[in-house]
Chain A
Amino acid sequence: MSTDVLIDLLQIIMLTLTTVVVMLVAGFKREHGLVNVLTTAGLAASLLVFVFVDPVLPLQATELLYFDEYSLFFSALITLGALSVSILAYPYFESHNSHNEEFYILLMTATLGAVVLACSTHFVSFFIGMEMLGVSLYAMIAYPVHAEKSAKFPLEAALKYLIMSGLTSGLMLFGIALIYALTGTMFFNEISPAIEAQDLASSPVIIAAWLMIISAVAFKLSLVPFHIWTPDVYEGAPVPVTAYLATVSKAAMLAVTLRLLLISDAFQYEALMLVLTVMAAASMLLGNLLALLQSNVKRLMAYSSIAHLGYLLIVIIAAASIPGILSVESMGFYVAAYFIMSLGGFAVISAISNSGKELDMISDYQGLFWRNPWLASVMITVLFSLAGIPLTAGFMGKFYVFTNGLQGSLWFLLTMLIIGSAIGLYYYLRIIYAILQQPGKISKQDPAMQAIPFGTHAVLGSMTAIIIYLGVYPMPMINILQSLAAAF
């Protein structure tokens, strides 16, 4: 092992170190503030590693992890998400829940898992990362279960997620096992040559294997028809965890999935593409339609995430017929944009909620613009961005999706995209409208009028700034994405 490897591993080492330190500190000194600061500092340090340490790229560090700009980009995104969640979690849990220290240990292990996923080019690290992320998430979702007054139903959500994830892991393992049995390799890049060498491409077993892997991925990404857990888990989990679930968990999964599909050349299977197309269309349509019926913002965000992943799937499907560079670039942009706007949205919900009482009904946002213009502006920006209105990152993301769809001539999916966006506008506007209305009566105890801690302000402010920045001047981001996409 050379120093190069150590430098590349520095981020993972930082995260692990933070995990152990946080665990020991939590054992000896139960103090929420201290543990929170340690976690935040550890995450910030591992984020800074990207800025100050120039990694040696690309590099295969051990068989399981592969470092290139692609993995670094997604790792940075994941760490940023975890950092924000850690900051949001403190005011959320403080004074409404006891024994908050373990939450941060779980947050750290989940983040480690997500980073492993982003660096994975091997089925084993894929599975390890997925499980680390998943297992930590069950506990995170159920975290306030012992609280005297818990805002939501964390246990139900955690159980649903646990059962669905168990099924997913089973499917995933079965798929991996079948591929390994036929090709004798678990490296993503060796699958395609092995299949070609043995002339397996039309074998039903290999297609079945791919379908199993794709179904497992679809479960994690909550694509229709594997989406049923999403709204319940989103609603039942405490807000910071929902934010984590919606951003980090999805981004990590998308990172590894696109890499897997691109370098293992899975696009040659027509059956697979058909399944993906159907899933994309159904996700866009059902996600948006069901979101119409929601009166709970968290559930609405869940359905909207289903729809957004449907949009993203267009990029993945188009990757079959357009240069990999463009699709990686587009995916990177869309994921980053979606990541930032979801985080911003949940940060607003989190700012006016705590683990004893969550304000997540649309009616709770009535007149927010007059009660707390700052929060309302952030929320409106986020919603416009989700709806894909220019000036925001969401629009550039949608622009990329359109470009991909056009170049890949996916007319059917583009039609669905337009229909979906039209429906989407309606429910986003409904929340915006509620925010803009006159509030019924303002009481002193109104959570939206209370002082918001500095950390939350920082998260809200930076997410809004990034949304606008990416929407108005995306060029720096595009340059980064182009250089990392060059590898594909």
Chain B
Amino acid sequence: MILVWLMLILFAGGIGAWLSESRGVGVPRVIALVAVLLDLALVIFMLLAPESIGLTPVASEQGEWLVLFQADWIPRFGISFIFGADGFSLLLIALTVFLGLISLGSAWHEIKERSGFFYFNLLWTLAGVIGVFTALDLFLFFFFWEVMLIPMYFIIAIWGHENKEYAAMKFFIFTQVSGLLMLLSILMLVFLNYEATEVITFSYFDLLDNNLSGVLGMLLMLGFFIAFATKLPVVPIHNWLPDAHSQAPTAGSVILAGILLKTGAYGLIRFTVPLFPEPSMAFAPIAMTLGVVSILYTAKVAFAQNDLKRLIAYTSVSHMGFVVLGVYAWNAQALQGAVMTMLAHGFSAAALFMLAGGLQHRIHTRDMDKMGGFWGVAPKMSFMALFFTVAAVGMPGLGNFVGEFLVLLGSFQVSITTTAFAALGLVVAAVYSLIVIQKVFHGENKNNYQFDDLTFIEMACFALMMVGLLWMGLYPQSMLDMAEPTLRSLGVAFP
């Protein structure tokens, strides 16, 4: 039930924020803040002291579930509310709520118009994402998968930048259409299961025993894969992302890069591979190749961008390539690496987008050619930029390094060639990242921009993320331990 509460608080907070819009800019954001803080408190309890709020882990065949909630929804089709959270889900929920707080911070001074409706959309997106991370009924999962898009669409379409119509439309159509393919696969899976067992059900646990293989299994698997790969994104279907990220307002970019991309990775780990083990293994070489292509190709494209946000967006795609690689290598190290990369990238990408957004808010451009020499103007901001850029590149001691290193370690056992190419990505990453620092913060301030340095709220946000990344880099075991039971239950052999 506590998972439902997590969502209900956000839903209610969103409605409250919207209704209080007429009372000025200040009220909605306070309401939103209270809702997110409440959620954060709940999540912290769940993480640190589950017993204190009456949670006892439920052990079942399919792993150990800290929380499992079940209720009928549409019994006609065997659809029910099944919400469950194990260690892996909990980590992602924590990431979601935490980055929700960060995005609130980044929107605090930026969003002046219709702020009530903005916070409504923000909170509903967060609630939708929590739904995605906890839904264990395929219909319910699909439901949340689509629902989280709508408020995000509003965020881009209303508060976006100059080319928002195109970006919002592209974002929505890409995810929606790939979602339809997934719906088709889900329905086909349920239908086949119905033919085999005479029971119509959408429950994840029941559908796990499907034993599908051959062409049919492959097609169904692809339905899921395309949906998740679009969200992740993987190279041939990635090109909604740079537009959406660069046009979204800062808070939108933070949520998109920090959380929404992770839903794709989550889907791959939780659904695609476990539901279709055989087809997935057959498909793994192709998927890993796609992952490597993502890493290298987008790194190269990122290198050619003038637009700061687009550049960061492309680097996101590049980093998510490691996740694909890790998932499809499907062994203990690689998967742990993928999970770590998801978490660490959530922080570093969110921070970088927040920086880019903050910069745009101050000087009204994202064109790097116009920037330069900002170290002198805003030293705090420049320091943060350096820190998070270095983190993203994979500096040892920070979270991203652990993730990417583990991924490479794991995939090395599966395919040496792919790993070798993927490792090349790390080198390229260093190049494009340093270019950013050089162009924006070093050199001379050609246009003589003068602006305020980071505000207190922004500093607080960055500091929180810094602590998080350091934690992940120095004590990754705490997170790996949480994810391990989940991965074990998915059939991954741990040494």
Contact = CB atoms under 8 A, between A and B. Distances in A.
A208 interface: no
B150 A433 contact: no
B108 interface: no
A269 interface: no
A425 B177 contact: yes
Contact of A433 (B169, B180, B191): B169
Contacts of A426: 169, 173
B75 A422 contact: no
A384 interface: yes
Interface stretch (A101-109, A258-266, A400-408): A400-408
A323 B146 CA distance: 30
A475 B76 contact: yes
Interface stretch (B181-189, B296-304, B448-456): B181-189
A58 B173 CA distance: 46
B154 A384 contact: no
Contacts of A429: 153, 168-169, 172-173
A195 interface: no
Nearest to A391: B147
A425 B172 contact: yes
Chain B: interface size category: 20 to 34
A422 B177 contact: yes
Contact of A389 (B74, B165, B176): B176
A132 to B, nearest CB: 36
A358 B158 CA distance: 27
Contact of B180 (A370, A418, A430, A436): A418
Contact of B146 (A370, A390, A403, A473): A390
Which of A426, A430, A436, A478 is the most central at the interface, judged by chain B CB atoms within 10 Å of its CB?
A: A436
Contacts of B74: 474-475, 478
Interface string A252-273: 0000000000000000000000
A414 interface: yes
Interface in A406-420: 406-407, 414, 418
A436 B118 CA distance: 12
Contacts of A192: none
Given A433-B157, A478-B74, A478-B76, A402 B173 contact: no
Nearest to B72: A475
A97 B176 CA distance: 44
Interface string B44-80: 0000000000000000000000000000011111000
B146 A407 contact: no
A389 B173 contact: no
B191 A407 contact: yes
Given A384-B150, A474-B74, A475-B76, A406 B184 contact: yes
A19 interface: no
B158 A425 contact: no
Nearest to B75: A475
A482 B173 CA distance: 34
Interface string A127-162: 000000000000000000000000000000000000
A482 B157 CA distance: 41
A421 B177 contact: yes
B180 A422 contact: yes
B387 interface: no
B142 interface: yes
B192 to A, nearest CB: 10
Interface string B222-235: 00000000000000
Nearest to B176: A425
Given A475-B76, A478-B76, A418 B184 contact: yes
Interface of A is mostly: helix
Contacts of B77: 403
B191 A406 contact: yes
B143 interface: yes
Interface string B131-158: 0000000000011001101100110011
A475 B143 contact: no
A399 B169 CA distance: 23
A21 B197 CA distance: 59
Given A406-B187, A418-B181, A418-B184, A433 B76 contact: no
A425 B181 CA distance: 15
A403 B165 contact: no
Nearest to B180: A418
B184 to A, nearest CB: 6
Interface string A431-464: 0110010000000000000000000000000000
Nearest to A430: B169
Contacts of B180: 418, 421-422
A289 to B, nearest CB: 15
A402 B187 contact: yes
A407 B77 CA distance: 14
Given A389-B150, A407-B191, A436-B158, A475 B73 contact: yes
Given A429-B172, A433-B157, A414 B76 contact: no
Which of B73, B77, B150, B180 is the most central at the interface, judged by chain A CB atoms within 10 Å of its CB?
A: B180
Interface of B: 73-77, 114, 142-143, 146-147, 149-150, 153-154, 157-158, 165, 168-169, 172-173, 176-177, 180-181, 183-184, 187-188, 191
15 contacts: A389-B146, A389-B147, A390-B147, A391-B147, A402-B183, A403-B77, A422-B173, A422-B180, A425-B173, A425-B176, A429-B169, A429-B172, A433-B168, A436-B157, A478-B76
Interface of A: 370, 384, 387, 389-391, 395, 399, 402-403, 406-407, 414, 418, 421-422, 425-426, 429-430, 432-433, 436, 473-475, 478-479, 482
Given A402-B184, A407-B191, A482-B76, 5 more contacts: A399-B187, A422-B173, A425-B176, A429-B172, A473-B73
